[in-house]
Structure formats: C-alpha cells, structure tokens
Amino acid sequence: MAKAKKQPRPKAVTPKGFRDYFGEEVTQRSHMLGQIADVYHHYGFDALESSAVETVEALGKFLPDVDRPNEGVFAWQEADENDKGDWMALRYDLTAPLARVYAQHRNDLPSPYRRYAMGPVWRNEKPGPGRYRQFYQCDADTVGTASMAADAEICMMLSDTLERVGIPRGDYLVRVNNRKVLNGVLEAMGLAEDDPKRDDVLRTIDKFDKVGEAGVRELLTKGRLDASGAFIDGVGLGDAQADPVIAFLTSKAADVAGTMANLHNAVGDSKVGVEGINELEQIGELLAAGGYGDDQVLIDPSIVRGLGYYTGPVFEAELTFEILDEKGRKRQFGSVSGGGRYDGLVKRFTGQEVPAVGVSIGVDRLLAALREKGRLAATPTGPVVVTVMDRARMADYQAMVAELRNAGIRAEVYLGNPKNFGNQLKYADKRNSPIAVIEGGEEKERGVVQIKDLRVGTLVSQSSSDNQKWAENLQQKTVDRSSLVSSVSEMLKRGSPRLDAEGNIVDASGSLLLPKEYLL
Amino acid sequence: MAKAKKQPRPKAVTPKGFRDYFGEEVTQRSHMLGQIADVYHHYGFDALESSAVETVEALGKFLPDVDRPNEGVFAWQEADENDKGDWMALRYDLTAPLARVYAQHRNDLPSPYRRYAMGPVWRNEKPGPGRYRQFYQCDADTVGTASMAADAEICMMLSDTLERVGIPRGDYLVRVNNRKVLNGVLEAMGLAEDDPKRDDVLRTIDKFDKVGEAGVRELLTKGRLDASGAFIDGVGLGDAQADPVIAFLTSKAADVAGTMANLHNAVGDSKVGVEGINELEQIGELLAAGGYGDDQVLIDPSIVRGLGYYTGPVFEAELTFEILDEKGRKRQFGSVSGGGRYDGLVKRFTGQEVPAVGVSIGVDRLLAALREKGRLAATPTGPVVVTVMDRARMADYQAMVAELRNAGIRAEVYLGNPKNFGNQLKYADKRNSPIAVIEGGEEKERGVVQIKDLRVGTLVSQSSSDNQKWAENLQQKTVDRSSLVSSVSEMLKRGSPRLDAEGNIVDASGSLLLPKEYLL
C-alpha cells in the first residue's frame, strides 16, 4: 500500500450551525422524551421510526414557515453507474415522512392510524443564536379520521404531557382556534377564495398582537403611521368590510358560549365559518367530558399563528409564566408546541384526500423552560471516585469499585496518572463526584479506607478559614474496609451538607449535623 | 402566487437500503438503549450526543472494515455564494465524532474522559438482506489513559450490559485478545514491520476458523488444495517460520496460566509480544479482582477479528447459544459487540497521541438475538378500545376513555366511521386490543356497559363450534357503568384465557375459569 501524502491537520470543529450535547443535556432530554412517549402510548398512539433519509421526491415541498420550497433541506444525489441516481435528503420534519409511510403501508396499518415519532430533524438554514440546523421534534398524529374527537384527544394529550414533564396547571395553556372560522370571516368580508387581498388580511391579522384592535382596523383600511413615523399602506378595505376581522379577533368572551356567539357574529352566514364554529363547539364538549377545564385547554380565537398551514382546528401550547430575557426584561416564555388539522399530505402520493390531525412539541424549548424554572435536577451527581494511591494495587481499587457498583452506586476508579494526588481530586471535582475513596499503604495495613465528602467544599468556602478543622472532620471519615459500601451509601444519603439560616450545619433534609456552637 | 404545474405523483417508498420501524420494534429498541445507558452511566461514563452531520475533513478516512476510504459515506457540498462550501457528511460511526469532540473540547473535559453515545450511523454501501444503510450503534470509550484498568473495565461493563438486557451467563462470552501479541508473533517469524508478507499472514490467520490448524500451516507454506479442488497458493514461508503462528492460534489452554505460557512460546523474546502478554495478564488480574469469571470474560487468543484495526487489546462479545439459520441449520448466533484499544484518532487533529479504548454494541443484532430466544414480550398489548355505538354520544365515550387512562390503563376511543360495528372489532383486532368496551342505547338506559375480552378469540378457534356459547359467556360481561374501570382492570389482570392440558379453560396464571365438563 502506497503511503498517503502528508496532509494538513483537519480542524476539530462542530460543523457550522450544529452543536454537541454533553452529559445531563443528553440524559435530561432522553428522560423527557421517555415521559412524552409514555403519555402518547397511554393514549393508544404507536411508535414509528422512519429513517433520517428520504427521497427528495417523497419529501416534497411542504416545508412549513418557509417561502423557499426548494431550499431548506440538506440534499445530495445518489451515485450510480451513470451518475443519475435519485436525489436524497435529510428529513426536515416528522410529518412529511409520516405521509410517505402512511401512503406506502396504508393497507397494513390500522385505520385510523395513531402514531408518535421523536427524533432529530434537519434544516439547511442560516443558523442564529440558539437556532441550530439539527434539533429534536416529538410528534403525535392521527391519520384517517375527520372526527373532532381526534382533535380534542390531541389537546387533552398535550395538556397531560405538559403536566407530566413538570409544568403544573396554571403555568401552561393549550389554546384552540379554527382555520375554517377565519375562512368564514374572509367570506363574510366578501373576499373570494382567489382574492389576493386574502393574503394581505392574513398578514394584518398576524400583527394583532403588536398593533391591537385600532391598529388592525387602520391597516385593513386606510393605512397607519407606525411608531417610527413611517406610513404603512392600508389594505384598502372599507370600514364595514373590516368589521368581521375585528369581531373575530376580539371574540374571546368570559365563557365559551359567549365566544361562540361573537364568532357567529363575525362569520355571519358563511357556511364554512359556521362549520368551523360547530367544530370548536364539539371540541369544547369533548374536552369537558374528558374532565379538562378552561385552565388547561381554552377555545381562543386570538391565536392566529399557524393558521395558514392548517385547514381546520389549530392548537398552540404556551407556557404562561414569566422569565427574564437576555436583556433582563420580563416576558412570557411563550409557545412550546403547535399543531392542527391538515389535508393533502397523503393525497400527494395516492390522489385520495386523507384527513389528519397532529401536534409537534419543541423538546429543546420545553427543556429550556424547565431549566429556567429550576425543575430539572440542578446539580447532577457524578460517580463516586475511587482514587489510586498505589499503582501496583489497581486490582484492590477495582474490587472496591465493583462492590460499590454491585450495591447500585455509580462509581469509577481513577484511570489517569496517579502520581499527583491533587490531580485526582481535581478530576473528581470536574466529574461532580460526591465522594472520593482513599486507601493508601497505611490504610491498607490497618484494614481501613477513608471516604471524603467532596460536597463539603462549598461549605468550607462559606465559612471562615478557622473552621477548616470541623470541615475536615465532617469531610473525611475513616471506616473499616469491610463497611465501605454501607458508609459510602450513608454519606450519599445525607446529601450535600449546608449551612442553615441559623448557621448550623445540616444535611440535605435539614437534620442537624453540627451545631453552630462548635464552629469557631 | 402562480399555480404550480401539475406534477406526476411521487412514489411512496422508503429509500433503497433504508427501512421503517413500527410500534414494538421502536419501543423495544429504546427500552434496550435505556438499559445499556443505565449500565454505562453506572460505570461513570457520561453521555455525549454529537450531531449526525460532520465535515468530511473531520470525519477523515477511518472507516473500519472498508478498503475504499473515500466511499462509504453520504456526503454533500454546502452551498455558499461561490458554490465552494465545505463538504459535509453523515457520520459512519460514533468513534470518529468522538475523536473530533475530544480534540475540540479537551481542555474542558475530564481526563481521562469516559463517554457513551448511542444513535444511528449511516453507510453508503450496497444494501443486502438484513443490511441497512442506517443502523444503531451504542458505544462506550475511555479516552486519555493507557491503563489496562480501562480495558478491563470495558470488558466487565460489556458483560454486565449483556446480562442486564437479558442474556444470562452461559449464553454469552466476552473474549479478549491483544494485537501486540500478534505483532510479537510476526516479529518472532522474522517478518519486519514493512514486510508485505505480514498482510498475507494476517489474511491467513483470518481463515483459521474455516481451515483449521493443518490448513493454516499449508496456506502459510506451500499452498493448499481447497474443498472445490482448486489450488490456493501458499505464502511461501518455511515450516519453522510458520510455527509461531500455529503456536499462537492454538495457545488456548485449560486455564489462563497455561494460555499465557503458550503465548510466551509463540512470541519468543519479541519485546512487543511480551508486552502484549503482560497486558493480557493485567486484564486477567483486574477481572478476577472485580469478581468476573472465565464464564463471563475469557482471555482467548483465537479471536482475530478486528485485530487489524486496533493497536492493543481487542474484545469481542459472542452469543453462544444456537439458533436456526434461514436454511434451518443450527448455528451459533455469533458476535454482537466488538472493541479494543486504538491510537491515532485524536492525533489527526492535535498531533499528540492520545491512548483510547472503546466498545461498540450492535443493538439491532442484540435485539434480534433476544427475539430469537423469546426474551422480548411476545404479544404486545394494544390499548383497550372504547367502541362507538352512537356517534352523537362521543362525549360519553370520551369520558369513559379518560376514566380508564386516569386509572393507568392504556385506552382509546374508536375514531373511524362507527357505522359498521364489525369494522370496529376488526380495528381492535389489528390494534392487538385486549378488551373492547361497548355501550349502546339500551345499555346506556340501563346504566351498564359491556366489556368484551378479545383475547378469547383464539380460544374459540381452538374448540368446536358447539362451544360458541360458553366462549361468548367468558368473552362478554355486562357490568355497571360505575364499575367500568374496576371491571376492565380485573379482566386485564386475568390475562389471556387458554385451554390447559386437560382441556379446562384457565387464566394466564393457570387458575381455573371454566372446567372442561361445562364444555360441549
């Protein structure tokens, strides 16, 4: 074999827009995915895992939120003899592969087909802060039924899921709206389905959050001077023509019945509009029958996000608690999940319309929310580290670590160069180890080991240097070699020692370890 | 927006060489991955999840088992202004990304760094039966230590992992060999490091399983007539020169001490060979100290697979029980995991040699083995299906299903067209439902529901048609609406009714449900 030419060293960098996840970042996510899968499974949804790769043809041009249908995916051409292989691409979401799978396997799948899927998706987009080109989605969809019971079920399941992962009632809200009601509003305004002004109206509705009722009215009619002093052209509708939009956006009343009455006003006698309202009423009844209250799932015509993509009911789950943004301002955490009813995805393949409804949870955002709220284990616990005092007695240390593991304690032996003991403790610190085990030659002779509580370190730094002595006492214990496991186990159980409000040293549960009188 | 031109319908097919996984295939794998992660974590390994995408430059040309370093990956060029973007590729294993991550983050990572990773990898290879272009790997590696304690630890962990996922002691064996011993053998034969005959000898050693001791000797020397009558040229070594290879391949003795003595004979005074034997001895001592016996991890010079790729100790986990192959012949299930010590991966990036050792488990093969042995839940349990007798009373059915779920029972309401009740039962059958719940108008009036044990169906088919009556009795129960949850729960607990050896009907635990005398 000819020797390869000397090449410059490759750069060790994560590709642009991608990132690595370490330790707890990985395990917390997989724990959450497990919890979500559990709820989905409980509702009768079955798992589906399709491959990351699809043909570009099968993926289609259905990228939501994106105006450039041909961009946005990572794609390549398969090599074959004539270099004319198929184009392949990484999936950009979990819905397009579902449509392909359903079209391909529909004769073998139960109908309706409830499935959930979780995994990474890829977007070939300009990365930004906190915006990566690979991220997780976690979807549940019901394919093959037009029944509103499917939509209601997904709302209930979303509510259950949020509570299951640790968002208590009151800290979230699933809001439900219906694209058909909006279509009814457009009809009531006298805008035909192909009227280009429909798009203008949709864009204006999206600004309701920012400019309010009066602002929307101005934008729909004669135009508006914005905060910077620039004039924004209006859509040019008459004042009366704008009324249904305003009625729609402000239709939320104190109770569902009131909201429904307002919506009826907004859509007038538009057939599709009335159908949409009936669907919302059905969903409301089913939610009530399932025992879900307005504090969990709410019919709310003010949510408009995603209305463009969906064809019937739409849902959005928001976290309602406040966090501080990067500039220290309070703001609501916002949306962590969205979904709705969509048609046409399967039809692309089969020619037959197949009604479907689904939801997608932004797992990484939800994790971020739980971190913000301190609902994820704050300090992950590293392994107990058995230090190496005598390189020739590795087998002794190995035996200790095996005993600890067999007792269910996460433990490891130090595998680096044991010469410098300080390095071993630095290593244990980096590993977040709660405890180090030490057995030098002297201890070995006496049949004892020392166990050192590494969590006391922070305590020491909180106290005067005069208190080093008791800290050391609390920190280090000499125990019989034969009681290694029980002593480590006990020390683990007492948790991180800390100072209480009075200045005593207590264990994690608040039990007294050392009264303040003993402290200098 | 201009209307898109009518295009031919896309084909709904999984791309060639890829596949979809449904239901239990997904959940069983994720359950197993969870078990493996648990063991790895217990040993002090931390999770790492890098992205599926790496730069081609960072991935390098380290594809193991493949002679074509430039092929084998799915790659594409990033688009930029000048169409001169970086080349990106899907990772082909989890080791190459580890090398990149370690080189990139080495100052922040503990040293040594124990990490585990699990996830799909992609190979751009010709797919074959059971060979897919996306599959799961599950790796653990320790980077930054040359200590044999790291190698021993990985062998113990592999043994623990196999037992944890359900392979009992006696049904698996982790075998350990050392590439350095083989290098010592080559040295003892007088073959210098750049002697082209080294490759010939390696290739011949790989045939030991097939041709045995005498066959290897012939192939190393004068050549051999194979079973088909064709003559295979020999390597052309002298008989004495072939001796060390034969001594090496046949070195396995009744105990470790005997094996070691044989290996010393094989390597003579080769320095690297003796070093390799010492390493094996150290591993043996550490295994013994950890309490691992020869029936779990065995020093075995007869394993040669992977010797080419690694630089020190190598391991292979084999399942030793027999299965029937596709032609009905008995054969051992074979290897499910391999690993060893390797150098140079990190050096590519940093110029510094970093010793590392790792193991990779073939998750899909391991799952297949457990399925073969019937160690995975045979019949997955679908949800309880609440049928719909009256479309207008969906809220009633929704309430039932919510009650069942709140009691921890997997349940769903039928969401298809309820007109044809037979279709609902067919659906429940496809879903593997244990129980269907029925509430028609009459039941509603009387305040009762019917619960139907769908698992009795197979029982009926085992009996004469005259026994329909009792089957129906056993199958269907009318209970108070208020005791829906407790009755379903009880029926679930009794499991699938079956005929026992005497012909009585018993529940899953063997308790009598109906004596045979009652059967016609």
Q: Is residue A148 part of a domain?
A: no
* Whole-number percent of chain A with pLDDT over 70: 90
Q: Could you tell me which residue, A101 or A71, shows the higher pLDDT?
A: A101
Pick from B119-133, B424-438, B463-477: least confident: B463-477
At residue B463 the predicted structure's pLDDT band, cuts being 50, 70 and 90, is low
Q: Is A93 annotated in some ligand binding site?
A: yes
Q: Could you tell me which residue, A209 or A195, shows the higher pLDDT?
A: A195
Q: Do B149 and A394 touch (CB under 8 A)?
A: yes
At residue B497 the predicted structure's pLDDT band, cuts being 50, 70 and 90, is confident
How close A271 comes to chain B (CA, Å)?
A: 21
> Does residue B359 contact residue B315 with C-beta atoms inside 8 Å?
yes
Q: Do A15 and B133 touch (CB under 8 A)?
A: no
| SS3 per-residue string spanning A358-405 | EEEECHHHHHHHHHHCCCCCCCCCCCEEECCCCHHHHHHHHHHHHHHH
β-strand pairing of B313-324 with B223-225: unpaired
Q: Got the DSSP string for A341-363?
A: EE-STTHHHHSS---EEEEEE-H
How close A354 comes to chain B (CA, Å)?
A: 12
Contacts of B411 in chain A (CB under 8 A): 42, 44
- Residues B186 and B299 reside in one and the same domain: yes
Burial of B163 (0-12, 13-18, 19+ CB in 10 A): middle
Q: What is the Cα–Cα distance from B470 to B496, expressed in whole angstroms?
A: 16
User: What local confidence, expressed as pLDDT, does residue A176 receive?
Assistant: 95
Which amino acids of B are annotated as binding site for L-histidine, given as ranges? Answer: 93-95, 123, 137, 141, 305, 309-310
Q: Got the DSSP string for B54-94?
A: EEHHHHTT--TT-S-TTSBS-EEEPP-TTS-PPEEEE-SSS
Nearest by CB to residue A10, choosing from B30, B58, B153, is B58
Contacts of A55 in chain B (CB under 8 A): 10-11, 13, 15
Q: Is residue B3 part of a domain?
A: no
User: What local confidence, expressed as pLDDT, does residue A471 receive?
Assistant: 66
User: What local confidence, expressed as pLDDT, does residue B396 receive?
Assistant: 95
| Gyration radius from chain B CA atoms | 30
Q: How many CB atoms are closer than 10 A to CB B15? A: 22
Pick from A138-142, B129-133, B264-268, B323-327: least confident: B323-327
Q: Is residue A157 part of a domain?
A: no
Q: Is the dihedral of CA B42, A33, B31, B314 positive or negative?
A: negative
* Whole-number percent of chain B with pLDDT over 90: 58
Question: Which DSSP symbol is given to B8?
Answer: P
* Residue type for position A416: G
To which H or E segment does residue B259 belong? Answer: helix B256-267
> Does residue B168 contact residue B320 with C-beta atoms inside 8 Å?
no
At residue B326 the predicted structure's pLDDT band, cuts being 50, 70 and 90, is confident
At residue B63 the predicted structure's pLDDT band, cuts being 50, 70 and 90, is very low
Contacts of A34 in chain B (CB under 8 A): 30, 34
Structural domain boundaries, residue B41:
17-143+343-378
Q: Is A95 annotated in some ligand binding site?
A: yes
Nearest by CB to residue A147, choosing from B23, B406, B415, is B415
On the question of pLDDT at A61 being above 70, the answer is no
Nearest by CB to residue B100, choosing from A12, A58, A101, is A12
Q: Could you identify the residue written with the tokens 């397009």?
A: A96
- Give the best-scoring range by mean pLDDT among A125-139, A323-337, A486-500, B432-446: B432-446
- Residues A184 and A301 reside in one and the same domain: yes
* Whole-number percent of chain B with pLDDT over 70: 90
Q: What is the Cα–Cα distance from A406 to B243, expressed in whole angstroms?
A: 44
Token representation of residue A51: 């491959």
pLDDT in tens, B173-220: 999 999 999 999 999 998 888 888 888 888 888 888 788 899 999 999
Largest CA distance in chain B: 97
pLDDT in tens, A8-54: 788 999 999 999 999 999 999 999 999 999 999 999 999 999 999 99
- Give the best-scoring range by mean pLDDT among A406-415, A488-497, B220-229: A406-415
How close A514 comes to chain B (CA, Å)?
A: 31
SS3 B209: helix
- Residues A79 and A123 reside in one and the same domain: yes
Cross-strand bridge partners of residue B135? B121
Q: Do B10 and A76 touch (CB under 8 A)?
A: no
Q: Is residue B154 part of a domain?
A: no
Q: Is residue A45 part of a domain?
A: yes
Q: How many CB atoms are closer than 10 A to CB B515? A: 12
| C-alpha pair distances (Å), B270 with each of B56, B181, B190, B249 | 39, 9, 10, 17
Tell me what the mean pLDDT of segment B495-501 comes to.
80
Interchain CB contacts (distance < 8 Å): A and B: 290
- Residues B372 and B262 reside in one and the same domain: no
* Residue type for position B397: Y
To which H or E segment does residue A101 belong? Answer: helix A95-105
Q: Is A305 annotated in some ligand binding site?
A: yes
- Residues B177 and B258 reside in one and the same domain: yes
Q: Could you tell me which residue, A64 or A168, shows the higher pLDDT?
A: A168
- Residues B85 and B228 reside in one and the same domain: no
Burial of B269 (0-12, 13-18, 19+ CB in 10 A): exposed
Q: Do A53 and B122 touch (CB under 8 A)?
A: yes
Cross-strand bridge partners of residue A227? none
With a CB cutoff of 8 Å and minimum separation 6, the contacts of B250 are B213, B262
Q: Do A410 and B114 touch (CB under 8 A)?
A: no
With a CB cutoff of 8 Å and minimum separation 6, the contacts of A152 are A282, A283, A286, A287, A290, B398
Residue of B111, B114, B107, B353 lying closest to A424 (CA atoms): B111
Vertex B315 angle, CA B70 and A1, to 5°: 35
At residue B81 the predicted structure's pLDDT band, cuts being 50, 70 and 90, is low
Question: Which DSSP symbol is given to B222?
Answer: T
| C-alpha pair distances (Å), B518 with each of B402, B471, B499, B503, B515 | 38, 11, 13, 11, 6
Q: How many CB atoms are closer than 10 A to CB B320? A: 12
User: What local confidence, expressed as pLDDT, does residue B380 receive?
Assistant: 61
- Residues A194 and A294 reside in one and the same domain: yes
- Residues A23 and A98 reside in one and the same domain: yes
User: What local confidence, expressed as pLDDT, does residue B57 receive?
Assistant: 86
With a CB cutoff of 8 Å and minimum separation 6, the contacts of B329 are none
> Does residue A178 contact residue A310 with C-beta atoms inside 8 Å?
no
pLDDT in tens, B82-120: 666 788 999 999 999 999 999 999 999 999 999 999 999
* CATH number for the domain harbouring residue B22: 3.30.930.10
Burial of A347 (0-12, 13-18, 19+ CB in 10 A): middle
Q: Do B43 and A412 touch (CB under 8 A)?
A: yes
Residue A314 main-chain phi, psi, to 5 deg = -130, 150
Q: Could you identify the residue written with the tokens 């084998």?
A: B72
At residue B65 the predicted structure's pLDDT band, cuts being 50, 70 and 90, is very low
On the question of pLDDT at A125 being above 90, the answer is no
* CATH number for the domain harbouring residue A502: 3.40.50.800
Nearest by CB to residue B46, choosing from A12, A22, A120, is A22
- Give the best-scoring range by mean pLDDT among A154-168, B211-225, B343-357: A154-168
- Residues A184 and A212 reside in one and the same domain: yes
Contacts of A394 in chain B (CB under 8 A): 147, 149, 282, 286
Pick from A152-156, A325-329, B410-414: least confident: A325-329
Q: Do B9 and A286 touch (CB under 8 A)?
A: no
Burial of A215 (0-12, 13-18, 19+ CB in 10 A): middle
Instruction: For residue B100, give the chain A residue with the closest CA.
Output: A12
* Residue type for position B76: W
Quote the ipTM score: 0.88
β-strand pairing of A172-178 with A134-143: unpaired
On the question of pLDDT at B66 being above 50, the answer is no
Instruction: For residue A429, give the chain B residue with the closest CA.
Output: B110
Residue of A379, A485, A499, A500 lying closest to A433 (CA atoms): A379
Q: Do B285 and A55 touch (CB under 8 A)?
A: no
User: What local confidence, expressed as pLDDT, does residue A209 receive?
Assistant: 79
**Torsion on CA atoms A148, A150, A153, A158, rounded to nearest 10:** -110
β-strand pairing of B113-122 with A231-233: unpaired
How close B518 comes to chain A (CA, Å)?
A: 37
With a CB cutoff of 8 Å and minimum separation 6, the contacts of A361 are A36, A137, A138, A139, A158, A161, A317, A336, A337
Contacts of A91 in chain B (CB under 8 A): none
Q: Mutation target for A interface from B24, B51, B115, B388: give the one with most A CBs within 10 A.
A: B51
Contacts of B288 in chain A (CB under 8 A): 395
Q: What is the Cα–Cα distance from B258 to B284, expressed in whole angstroms?
A: 13
Q: Is residue A33 part of a domain?
A: yes
Tell me what the mean pLDDT of segment A164-170 comes to.
94
Q: Do A53 and B396 touch (CB under 8 A)?
A: no
User: What local confidence, expressed as pLDDT, does residue A376 receive?
Assistant: 78
Q: Do A100 and B12 touch (CB under 8 A)?
A: yes
How close A260 comes to chain B (CA, Å)?
A: 19
Q: Do B21 and A134 touch (CB under 8 A)?
A: no
Which amino acids of B are annotated as binding site, given as ranges? Answer: 93-95, 123, 137, 141, 305, 309-310
Q: Is residue A7 part of a domain?
A: no
- Residues B408 and B315 reside in one and the same domain: no
How close A329 comes to chain B (CA, Å)?
A: 32
Contacts of B50 in chain A (CB under 8 A): 14, 20-21
Considering its fold, how many domains does chain B have in total?
A: 3
Q: What is the Cα–Cα distance from A500 to B505, expressed in whole angstroms?
A: 65
Q: What is the Cα–Cα distance from B60 to B78, expressed in whole angstroms?
A: 17
User: What local confidence, expressed as pLDDT, does residue A301 receive?
Assistant: 84
Q: What is the Cα–Cα distance from A231 to B282, expressed in whole angstroms?
A: 81
Tell me what the mean pLDDT of segment B341-358 comes to.
90
User: What local confidence, expressed as pLDDT, does residue A374 receive?
Assistant: 78
Instruction: For residue B281, give the chain A residue with the closest CA.
Output: A395
Q: What is the Cα–Cα distance from A98 to A49, expressed in whole angstroms?
A: 9
Q: What is the Cα–Cα distance from A205 to A450, expressed in whole angstroms?
A: 69
To which H or E segment does residue B330 belong? Answer: strand B330-342
Q: Do B351 and A48 touch (CB under 8 A)?
A: no
Residue of A323, A402, A380, A396 lying closest to A496 (CA atoms): A380
Nearest by CB to residue B14, choosing from A11, A12, A104, is A104
At residue B469 the predicted structure's pLDDT band, cuts being 50, 70 and 90, is low
Q: What is the Cα–Cα distance from B343 to A428, expressed in whole angstroms?
A: 25
Q: Do B88 and A74 touch (CB under 8 A)?
A: yes
Q: How many CB atoms are closer than 10 A to CB B240? A: 10
Given B278, B307, B336, the domain boundary residue is: B336
Contacts of B44 in chain A (CB under 8 A): 382-383, 385, 410-412, 431
The mean pLDDT of chain A is 88
User: What local confidence, expressed as pLDDT, does residue B64 receive?
Assistant: 44
Nearest by CB to residue B52, choosing from A52, A60, A349, is A52
Contacts of A425 in chain B (CB under 8 A): none
Nearest by CB to residue A49, choosing from B21, B52, B408, is B21
Q: What is the Cα–Cα distance from B190 to B204, expressed in whole angstroms?
A: 17
> Does residue B165 contact residue B31 with C-beta atoms inside 8 Å?
no
Q: Is residue A483 part of a domain?
A: yes
On the question of pLDDT at B425 being above 80, the answer is yes
Q: Mutation target for B interface from A7, A22, A70, A116: give the one with most B CBs within 10 A.
A: A22
> Does residue A276 contact residue A180 with C-beta atoms inside 8 Å?
yes
Q: Do A26 and B48 touch (CB under 8 A)?
A: yes
User: What local confidence, expressed as pLDDT, does residue A465 receive?
Assistant: 53
pLDDT in tens, A450-460: 999 988 766 66
- Residues B46 and B173 reside in one and the same domain: no
- Residues A176 and A315 reside in one and the same domain: yes
Q: Could you identify the residue written with the tokens 């969870």?
A: B34
The mean pLDDT of chain B is 88
